[in-house]
Structure 1
Amino acid sequence: MVDIYGYFIIFVLSLTTILLILSFSSSSGIKSRLPPSLFALPIIGHLHLLAPIPHQALQKLSIKYGPIFRFFLGSVPCLAVSSPELAKEFLRTYEASYLDRPRNSTTVYLTYGSKDFMFAPFGPYWKLMKKLVMSDLLNGKTLVLLLPLRQDETNWFLHSLSQKAKLEKAVDVKGELMKLTNNVISRMLMSERCSEDENETGDMRKLVPEITGKFNLADYTWFCKNLDLQGYKKRVKEIHRRFDQLIERIISAHKDERMKKGKDEVRDLLDILLTISEDEWK
């Protein structure tokens, strides 16, 4: 009898606790303030509903659940906003709450703990990086200085199209425009073209698809957070090692060139960054 009485007390206490929690939740209005959602599967959330094309799947869900609704990428809560009015509220009225880009294991590792400009969290460091970009790297003087470089790449692009047209060759315009963009950016950054297949810089172009656009299960499911079921962490570390070697080679070459020609000659954005770095150590 004593055991039955004890179990009964535990049951009553548990039931009372549950009722109090439910009562508090309903009275506080937490549920009423949350946007509508749909049934989520354990571990994967709503990932199964976002295939094969995520943005089209979200558009279909918005028709059913309205211009704003909740969904889960694994265990990560997300909001879908599809009306201009609500988008304005998120992007302008409450801009400070949504400034940070999503952090995942790949970007954190490849950017040395989010120390770059794109993925750095909003705060003093990000403001310093923004000031550096706007006042030194992409100001009017620097853009004018690098204008011949952009013109050269554009002329090369037009000449390439002209030659292929004369030979009546088919042209992948999208691919050629991508090469043009990559070459302009890489030459502005480090004075090297990234579309050449025969040199080390061509490695940069091959690395980009490997380090971006990959879905890592560990970033979205708490169950796999400390596991590497896809072997993704191992691949990222190898890519990071190769990337480090490439960047070290380029920085060393720039330093040697600066020793020969002088530090005042600016050929690209890397020269500007090296000058800023050297001035800070003085």
Structure 2
Amino acid sequence: MNPCMDASGATVLCFIFFSTIAFLIFKSLITRSKNSRTPPSPPRLPIIGHLHLLGSVIPKSFQALALRHGPLIQLRLGASTCVVVSNAQVAKEVMKTHELNFCNRPQFGSSEYFLYKGSGFVTAPYGPYWRFIKKLCVTQLLSSSQLARFVHIREHEIEKLLKSLMVCSTEGRASDLSFDLTALTNSILCRMAMSTTCFDQVNDAEEILGLVREFLHVGAMLSMGEVLGPLGKFDLFGFGKKLVKIVDKFDRVLERVLEEHEDKNSEAHGGHTCDMMDILLQVCKDPNTEVRLTRNDIKAFFLDIFLAGTDTSSAALQWTMAEILNNPGVLKKVRAEIDAVVGTSRLVNESDVPNLRYLQSVVKEALRLHPTAPFVLRQSSEDCSINGYDVKGQTRTLINVYAIMRDPQVWVNAEEFKPERFLEETDGSGGQRVIAMDGGDFRYLPFGFGRRGCPGSSLALTVIHVTVASLIQCFQWKIKDGVSMEEGSSFSAGLAKPLVCYPVTCFNPF
């Protein structure tokens, strides 16, 4: 037998074999593409996926991708896959039509290093534990009656801020409103949650504020490790160890405050107003509750409260003030309304807010342009169809509320700050009312929607309205180098630069 003929025949057989395999694979791919209805996806690179398409401001990057590829897109960020929703119609499908299927929130890498793993409320699976804590929030912890009990706390903290700004005014010094407003929201939250402030001897609130900021930074870095896939488990950059140390410090502060509350509650005296920690301790000791809370459950709840409430409320205040100062006509109208409703002999208070309609529209517009949580995070439980595409179970879903509330298809001059868009005539006499934008209007989602909407929205809005009104009523504001409206990088919702202003006292209520 000719060896050359054998070699030639073997080559032909190999060619036929591999050609057949290639054809079958190609046919399989073609068939799969015809049957598959996965959401559209931009062209991606090997390994990194779509990471190269993201700029420094993530919500804005996702918005730009949606304008090119549609309101529901699938992105591959390294080893992690998610779908991104960018208009009101698709958001309604996810958050209302398929609400029960999207009632869970995704877990990220930081949970692996979390001392309270399994106890957190914000990321807890939709089930008995989550429903129980949500019910506590609505009926006790953040109820309207509980908020009313602590009106004196909010008034006192705002008055302290105003007095410190008046000192700045007298001395001709600038004020870093970014710092001052964060300290304000943290002190209000600490006093309502566990009766401690930045001015206590042990500085619990000040320490908590520092730990919350560290947690947000390190937790974000660790969660970004999701793009590394299995490699993220090795904590290559040490963020996991840092997070463990931060939570351990937070735990020690909380343990000390818990013990103080237990000692106080064990004494035979009454008459004190129960803060959130008192309420949770009572629930913890009640043998008849639907769910028995542990000490870790209580601590995890407070960590969630501080993470969700301090910087977000502060960011909303900063953006609102920045927009007002950047629009002199708006500032003039807000001041005129306060003078007309409140007068010039007393400080504005919470009971005045329902009559300050233009102020309410200003805050609504600031939250539209600058949502404090640019993304609503959800995860599907089962396969479903969204906007005509197949979304598999366990898919991480990001609702880009930043893009939705700047959608030029539903908002006229979407990028402009126009508070008047939230006002409408009540009758022919020139009276106006604020357009509510609630009840499932998915064009406007600053606090999410449905079962997993923000339970603290009423508190946040109360603090924002009365604080902004007080700052406008008591001071003229001078800006040395103008108001920077640059947005923070990454997933941040805050201003990129501190809001530094010179307060000039124009009304002293003290």
Q: Would the aligned equivalents of 2:187 and 2:205 in 1 still touch at CA under 8 Å?
A: no
Distance 1:200 1:183 in 2: 10
The answer (yes or no) to whether the contact 1:193–1:201 under 8 Å persists in 2 is yes
Q: Which moved more, 1:225-234 or 1:54-63?
A: 54-63
Pick one of 245, 270, 275 that aligns with 2:277: 270
1:21 equivalent to 2:25? Answer no
How far did 1:120 drift? 0.9
| 2:188 pairs with 1:181 | no
Measure, in 2, the Cα distance between the counterparts of 1:198 and 1:130. 31
Letter in 2 for 1:257: K
Greater length-normalized contact order (CA 8 Å, ≥ 6 residues apart): 2
Name 1:221's counterpart in structure 2.
Answer: 228
* Partner Cα separation in structure 2 for residue 201 and residue 130 of structure 1: 25
- The amino acid of 2:169's aligned partner reads A
Q: Secondary structure at the match of 2:81?
A: strand
Question: Counterpart in 1 of 2:206?
Answer: 202
SS in 1 for 2:267: helix
Sequence identity (%): 32
Contact 1:108 1:114 in 2 (8 A): no
Is residue 2:249 matched to residue 1:245? no
Give deviations 1:82-132, integer Å, cap 9, x for gaps: 222222222322222333233113246436224222111212221111112
Structure 2 residue 87 is the aligned partner of structure 1 residue 83: yes
C-alpha offsets along residues 142-189 of structure 1, whole Å, 9 cap, x if unaligned? Answer: 222222222211221222222222222211223222211111111111
Q: Does 1:95 align with 2:102?
A: no
How far apart, CA to CA, are the structure 2 residues paired with 1:107 and 1:181? 26
Structure 2 counterparts to residues 102-181 of structure 1, below 5 A: 102-107=106-111, 109-110=113-114, 112-181=116-185
1:36-75 maps to which residues of 2 (within 5 A)?
36-75=40-79
Once residues 92 and 140 of structure 1 are traced to their aligned partners in structure 2, the CA distance between those partners, rounded to angstroms, is 25
**1:272 positional shift:** 0.7
Report how far residue 252 of structure 1 moved: 0.9
- CA–CA distance in structure 1, aligned partners of residues 199 and 87 of structure 2: 40
Asked if 1 retains the 8 angstrom alpha-carbon contact of 2:197 and 2:203, the reply is no
Q: Structure 1: which amino acid aligns with 2:245?
A: E
Q: Distance in 1 between matches of 2:17 and 2:234?
A: 38
Q: CA deviation at 1:139?
A: 2.0
Contact 1:153 1:180 in 2 (8 A): yes
Secondary structure of 1:280's aligned partner: coil
Cα shift readout 1:170-219 (whole Å, capped 9, x = no counterpart): 11223222211111111111111147797344221111122114222432
User: 1:215 is aligned with what amino acid?
Assistant: M
Report the CA distance between 1:13 and its aligned residue.
7.5
Q: Give the Å deviation of 1:262.
A: 4.3
Query: For 2:114 and 2:268, how far apart are their aligned partners in 1?
Result: 32
List alignment gaps of at least 5 residues for structure 2. Answer: 1-5, 290-510
| Structure 1 range deviating more: 153-162 or 5-14 | 5-14
Contact 1:37 1:71 in 2 (8 A): yes
TM-score (structure 1 length as normaliser): 0.85
1:212 counterpart residue number:
216
Instruction: Name the structure where strand makes up a greater proportion of residues.
Output: 2
Q: Residue deviations 1:30-87, cap 9 Å, x none?
A: 1xx2222122233332223212221222222223223332212222222233222222
Q: Supply the distance in 2 between the matched residues of 1:281 and 1:242 (Cα, whole angstroms).
A: 33
* In structure 2, distance between residues paired with 1:82 and 1:195: 43
Deviation at 1:234, TM superposition (A): 0.9
Cα 1:84–1:263 change in 2 (3 A) is same
